Amino acid sequence: MPVLPASLIEPLWVEFAALIRTEDRPEFSPTHPWGCHRRRIPDRVVFDHLIAALVHGSGYERIETEECSDRTLRRRVHEWARPGTGPRSCGSP
């Protein structure tokens, strides 16, 4: 059962995906020292897990599944925050 109805999640995902520009990411990491040994977990899967963490007020460890680990959740949040996908502070240009 989904955490929130699709009528709420889907518009959020559409707006968020536009901010993080999901189409220009490779499926495999080109910078990995051993080549492309593991597929990248889709952004939508990570997004759904993060929404669940926010709705339940849980830590990443409680939300993780076999499909998406708590380390992946943390890494992706940091990756998404780096390019400035969050709101700008009042003093920023």
CA-wise closest residue to 27 among 46, 13, 42, 14: 42
Q: Where are the domains of the chain?
A: 6-81
Q: In one letter, which amino acid is 71?
A: R
Q: What is the pLDDT of residue 23?
A: 60
Q: How far apart are CA 25 and CA 42, in angstroms?
A: 10
Confidence of residue 71 (pLDDT cuts 50, 70, 90): very high
Q: What is the pTM of this model?
A: 0.72
Q: How far apart are CA 79 and CA 23, in angstroms?
A: 15
Given a cut of 70, whether residue 61 has pLDDT beyond it is yes
Q: What is the pLDDT of residue 90?
A: 44
